[in-house]
Amino acid sequence: MGSETDRAQPGFAEVPHFHGHRERLRGRFREAGPDALADYELLELLLFRAIPRRDVKPLAKALLKRFGSFAEVLAAPERLLAEVEGSSAAVILELKVTHAAAIRIGRSKVVQRPVLSSWLALIDYCRTAMAFAEREQFRVLYLDRKNILIADEVQGEGTVDHTPVYPREVMKRALELSASAIILVHNHPSGDPTPSPADIAMTRQIVEIGKPLGIAVHDHLIVGRDGHASFRGLKLI
């Protein structure tokens, strides 16, 4: 076996220190599961694919420091991800694909199922899809007579604190889809899901328009970094 001096000579390829780290981290994931890993370690596992020959721990920690949490890193806009040193196009693609997969998995748990009996899954899906967006987004979930989701549509996207909503257009679309009920969802980029007076007024307007049409508004959910608010739970509708 060669000495340490021998290994420093030309012809001896030194194995980077992070190679052993990668295998140990993968081993912990396989044996103990994802809950045994810190957020930065789980993020490292994603970055391994995008950066095969570099220590990715500094980048993982830098991303978490910039955006705050694992979920917020995945949901961060591409232009902001690109501002973090070491975040290449391959890194951004890996994060965006993972985020898209998370949204699709969440949606699969509520599609073609009675939404009211899958309420926690619905909230998880809405938070994954919208809670960390930079701008307000207004979404409508259309349900049939059995409260099964038949359409999930983004009706509009606005500024950091306002999205234009047209109640009659919401109900017109419900009639087109033969929906019997709807659930309204929007996000608050500020993080605080507390309904504003404008949110309350708009929701009540939609409820009133729907009544003579036989279209119920089951709830209006507001999601944000700090959790979610339910109009039904708050007895606002």
The CATH number for 144's domain is 3.40.140.10
Whether residue 47 is contained in a domain is answered as yes
Instruction: Indicate if 35 and 139 belong to the same structural domain.
Output: no
For the cut 80, the answer to whether the pLDDT of residue 3 exceeds it is no
Among residues 71, 104, 137, the one where a domain terminates is: 104
For the cut 60, the answer to whether the pLDDT of residue 4 exceeds it is no
So what's the pLDDT on residue 78?
A: 93
Instruction: Indicate if 40 and 122 belong to the same structural domain.
Output: no
Across 69-83, 150-164, 200-214, least confident range: 150-164
Structure-token pair, residue 203: 């929701």
| Residue with token string 């985020």 | 99
Whether residue 184 is contained in a domain is answered as yes
| Number of structural domains found in the chain | 2
Q: Which domain holds residue 226?
A: 114-230
pTM: 0.76
Instruction: Indicate if 121 and 226 belong to the same structural domain.
Output: yes
Whether residue 199 is contained in a domain is answered as yes
Q: For 19-34, give the DSSP string.
A: HHHHHHHHHHHHHH-G
Give the chain's largest Cα–Cα span. Answer: 87
Averaged pLDDT, 170-179:
96
Whether residue 236 is contained in a domain is answered as no
Instruction: Indicate if 134 and 201 belong to the same structural domain.
Output: yes
Choose among 129, 126, 164, 50: nearest CA to 59: 50
Instruction: Indicate if 10 and 95 belong to the same structural domain.
Output: yes
| CA–CA separation, 46 and 231 (whole Å) | 37
Instruction: Indicate if 98 and 146 belong to the same structural domain.
Output: no
pLDDT tens per residue across span 78-99: 999 999 999 999 999 999 999 9
Average confidence score pLDDT of the chain: 87
Instruction: Indicate if 156 and 90 belong to the same structural domain.
Output: no
Could you tell me the pLDDT band of residue 9, with boundaries at 50, 70 and 90? very low
Q: What single letter denotes the amino acid at residue 231?
A: F
Q: How far from chain centre, in Å, is Cα 130?
A: 6
For the cut 70, the answer to whether the pLDDT of residue 14 exceeds it is no
Whether residue 237 is contained in a domain is answered as no
- Buried b / exposed e over 56-67, threshold 16 CB at 10 Å, is bbebbeebbeeb
Instruction: Indicate if 121 and 225 belong to the same structural domain.
Output: yes
Among residues 40, 73, 104, the one where a domain terminates is: 104
So what's the pLDDT on residue 16?
A: 58
So what's the pLDDT on residue 2?
A: 45
For the cut 50, the answer to whether the pLDDT of residue 12 exceeds it is no
Averaged pLDDT, 122-142:
90
Averaged pLDDT, 103-124:
85
Across 122-131, 160-169, 214-223, least confident range: 160-169
| CA–CA separation, 237 and 232 (whole Å) | 6
Of residues 3 and 166, the one with the higher pLDDT is 166
Whether residue 145 is contained in a domain is answered as yes
Among residues 104, 123, 139, the one where a domain terminates is: 104
For the cut 50, the answer to whether the pLDDT of residue 126 exceeds it is yes
Instruction: Indicate if 120 and 76 belong to the same structural domain.
Output: no
Instruction: Indicate if 51 and 137 belong to the same structural domain.
Output: no
Averaged pLDDT, 123-145:
91
Percentage of the chain beyond pLDDT 90 is 62
For the cut 70, the answer to whether the pLDDT of residue 15 exceeds it is no
Instruction: Indicate if 214 and 121 belong to the same structural domain.
Output: yes
Instruction: Indicate if 89 and 136 belong to the same structural domain.
Output: no
